[in-house]
Amino acid sequence: MTRAAFQALYDAAGRLVAETPALRDFGTWPAIPGFRKRKPTAIPAIQLITARPDPPLCSPAQSAFLAALRVAAPFARWYRSYKRAQVGRDFLDRYGWFELLGPSGHFRSDAARAYVAYWGDGLVYPDHAHAAEEIYYVVAGGADFASDGVPSATLAPGDTRLHGAWQSHAMTTTTSDILTLVLWRGEGLAGKPVLLETAP
Ligand code: ZN
């Protein structure tokens, strides 16, 4: 059951990659990676995700991804990268991510990494950076993206945003939550994002 749920989600993610030129160009999507059982973690955001309806104008591939995610979400190994002192309790209660594909993902790859990541509405994800290159794909909802050295942008479903190695970036959700598929590549694939200190 668990494996079937993740396989459906992986196949739906692969379809999003295949249909989105920016994701397709970002790197190879492994066709049949090995599956491994990971111990699920319960976080409050699971309920927000499983109760979330499809957005208006949802594409068939996005709808398939969301349907598969509603089934798989309670079985995923969710993480939250930060401490309450860094981002606040409300942020931690309405945020989370899991590694669908990667060095420690539900599907195993040492060459590619893909996360499913969620933030509720009205949250500020402060400036952070990481060694790996990254591309966000918005499956549902939207947010304002601000990155060092390039114009800010408001992303909606189907939009993508690229972040270079150690390029500082931040994200703010306003009236909507955001559900994303995030791909990493390059150096530091198994690394973590680092919050950048801001002046008091
Ligand atoms: Zn990032």
pLDDT 10s digits, 165-185: 999 999 999 999 999 999 999
**129 CA distance to ligand 1 middle (Å):** 6
Beta-carbon contacts of residue 10 (< 8 Å; ≥ 6 apart) = 33, 100, 101, 106, 107
pLDDT 10s digits, 95-131: 999 999 999 999 999 989 999 999 999 999 999 999 9
Asked if residues 162 and 135 have their Cβ atoms less than 8 Å apart, the reply is: yes
**147 CA distance to ligand 1 middle (Å):** 10
**35 CA distance to ligand 1 middle (Å):** 25
**1 CA distance to ligand 1 middle (Å):** 31
pLDDT at 197: 72
How far, CA to CA in Å, does 153 sit from each of 43, 144, 150, 172, 176?
29, 6, 9, 11, 15
**134 CA distance to ligand 1 middle (Å):** 6
**65 CA distance to ligand 1 middle (Å):** 21
Q: What angle do CA 18, 96, 155 make, to 5 degrees?
A: 50
Q: What is the pTM of this model?
A: 0.95
**165 CA distance to ligand 1 middle (Å):** 9
**145 CA distance to ligand 1 middle (Å):** 11
CA atoms within 13 A of residue 102's CA, in its CB half-sphere: 21
**151 CA distance to ligand 1 middle (Å):** 16
Alpha-carbon distance 154 to 136, whole Å? 12
**52 CA distance to ligand 1 middle (Å):** 24
Alpha-carbon distance 64 to 44, whole Å? 23
Residue 200, pLDDT above cutoff 50: no
74 φ/ψ angles, rounded to the nearest 5 degrees: -70, -15
**170 CA distance to ligand 1 middle (Å):** 8
**95 CA distance to ligand 1 middle (Å):** 14
pLDDT at 1: 65
